[in-house]
Amino acid sequence: MNPSLPFVEEMISGWGLYPKIKARVYRPSSPQELEYLLHREGSLVARGLGRSYGDAAIAPTVVDTTALNKFLEFDTSLGSLYVEAGASIDQILRWSVPRGWFLPVVPGTKYVTLGGAFASDIHGKNHHAQGSFSDQVEEVELFTSRGELIRCSRHEKPDLFWATAGGLGLTGIILRIRLRLKPIETAYIWKRILKAPNLPAILRLFDEYQQSTYSVAWIDCLARGKNLGRSVLFLGEHLGLNQLPSHLRTQPLLVHSAPRIRIPYYFPDWTLNTLSIRTFNTLYYWFSGPENRPAVVHYDPFFFPLDKVYHWNRIYGRRGFLQYQCVVPKKDGEAILAEILGRISRSGMGSFLAVLKLFGPSDGRYLNFPMEGYTLALDFPRTSSVFFLLDELDELVDAVGGRVYLTKDARLHPKHIARQYPQWQDFVVLKNEVDPQQKWASLLSQRLQLTSSLHVYRDN
């Protein structure tokens, strides 16, 4: 046990830069150091790379897990990787792509840890075909508030497994993960672009191209009237070696490189206004690339286009932004999405990052986000009026039995939890069994009344 594990005191936030608090940040590198923290500190929450947007990884004391990132074992016959959960998707891909393996489910950035991916049970552009991150995970080892290491899977302590998948760090610290990778012949994707002039057209395209491995639509959330919901659909398939153009064959398994562009400081708050976003959206719709002409692209720009720009969140200025992501059941999809987009468009509070995806069936439980339907994600500069707009959207989402994605959230009122996550009480019961002292708590868990108040004690 290390009796003097150091910490730093720093301002922390999620990717949306709101809220921001001063916190003690510990960076343990062994289970022994984690155990030391249990005795030394009050409430804690795990933190990976801080890519959740709101307050899920924020507390007065946080445990930065990124030094717990060792690769432990790889079974090439099964593609099964056993690794410490502080390893990031970036690190995994750097190792796995040259060996011909890829992660079956990746989010829109590779700068997330596997622990963070499991704790949010993230989804990719292939939920309709492959499910979410937890569907690729064989087992996790959880460090509990009693200082025990518990292994759980679909067969062993399944309740704990499901409560931890999407449980936002509230059941313990995920220390190790065993997950399946998928074989690839090349690092390239066969990409196709289709344009949809309005909402019914994009929903029809999602249906028509359900067999496509990857699909995601960028949606112009400021378009109105007959253009409401106009979108650009991106489809993708992993490319086989014999399909690769000859000039790429010298390095078929080329790994991604580091970001080239950095935003060194916060942009002024006025940079993103309705006019700039409307202009961007119109140009993007018309100039997003040639329609229906397939192109071969590297996996990095296909899956992680924003990673090119390091700290892109600073373009929203110091006041930051809110991401709103909801899922609505398929049967009500068109009507409710039209209503949501209509309200956003009328408010003039737009987003240039507006993404629509198709979710397949999900067997997630407790606080797990995905359900069969459509998920819409939008970024809004943080202004006082945007909170009112998002409150209205919450009511619309409640009314159709949809959900707001908690890992993106910074402002949902607790009354919505019971409506959107019908198993939330079971989650709280299970949490209290595994963590009777409420050691694991975040600003989010406190705000949504999933835990009682945060216990902070400083013994120095």
Ligand X SMILES: Cc1cc2nc3c(=O)[nH]c(=O)nc-3n(C[C@H](O)[C@H](O)[C@H](O)COP(=O)(O)OP(=O)(O)OC[C@H]3O[C@@H](n4cnc5c(N)ncnc54)[C@H](O)[C@@H]3O)c2cc1C
Interface with ligand X (CB under 6 A), residue from 48, 79, 100, 373: 48
Quote the DSSP letter at residue 88: B
Q: Tell me the C-alpha distance between 255 and 264, whole Å.
A: 26
Is the distance from CB of 192 to CB of 292 less than 8 angstroms? yes
Least distance in Å: CB of 391 to ligand X? 22
Interface with ligand X (CB under 6 A), residue from 65, 130, 351, 451: 65
Burial class of residue 56 in the structure, from the number of CB atoms within 10 Å of its CB (0-12 exposed, 13-18 middle, 19+ buried):
buried
Interface with ligand X (CB under 6 A), residue from 7, 12, 27, 47: 47
Closer to ligand X by CB, 345 or 375: give it. Answer: 375
Q: Tell me the C-alpha distance between 15 and 411, whole Å.
A: 14
What residues between 132 and 191 interact with ligand X by CB under 6 A? 168-169, 173-174
Neighbour tally for 148: CB within 10 Å: 11
> Torsion angle of alpha carbons 325, 330, 331, 335, nearest 10°?
40
Segment interacting with ligand X (CB under 6 A) among 23-31, 107-115, 257-265, 343-351: 107-115
223 sits near ligand X (criterion: CB under 6 A): no
- 118 contact partners, CB below 8 Å, separation of at least 6: 85, 133, 134, 137, 140, 164, 165, 174, 177
Closer to ligand X by CB, 124 or 360: give it. Answer: 124
116 sits near ligand X (criterion: CB under 6 A): yes
Segment interacting with ligand X (CB under 6 A) among 118-126, 332-340, 379-387, 417-425: 118-126
Number of residues near ligand X (by CB under 6 A):
33
Least distance in Å: CB of 119 to ligand X? 3
Is the distance from CB of 118 to CB of 174 less than 8 angstroms? yes
Q: Tell me the C-alpha distance between 32 and 29, whole Å.
A: 8
Chain-centre distance for alpha carbon 437: 28
100 sits near ligand X (criterion: CB under 6 A): no
**132 residue type, one letter:** S
How far does the chain reach from its first CA to its final CA, in angstroms?
Answer: 17
Closer to ligand X by CB, 105 or 223: give it. Answer: 105
69 sits near ligand X (criterion: CB under 6 A): no
Segment interacting with ligand X (CB under 6 A) among 114-122, 234-242, 314-322, 396-404: 114-122
Interface with ligand X (CB under 6 A), residue from 56, 199, 221, 417: 56
Q: Tell me the C-alpha distance between 67 and 347, whole Å.
A: 44
107 sits near ligand X (criterion: CB under 6 A): yes
Each residue 349-388 as x (binds ligand X by CB under 6 A) or -, in order, gives ----------------------------------------
Residue 51 CB-half CA count within 13 A: 24
122 sits near ligand X (criterion: CB under 6 A): yes
Least distance in Å: CB of 175 to ligand X? 7
- 107 contact partners, CB below 8 Å, separation of at least 6: 51, 89, 117, 122, 123, 124
50 sits near ligand X (criterion: CB under 6 A): yes
Contact set with ligand X (CB under 6 A): 15, 45-52, 56-57, 65, 85, 107-109, 112-113, 115-117, 119-120, 122-124, 168-169, 173-174, 306, 407, 442
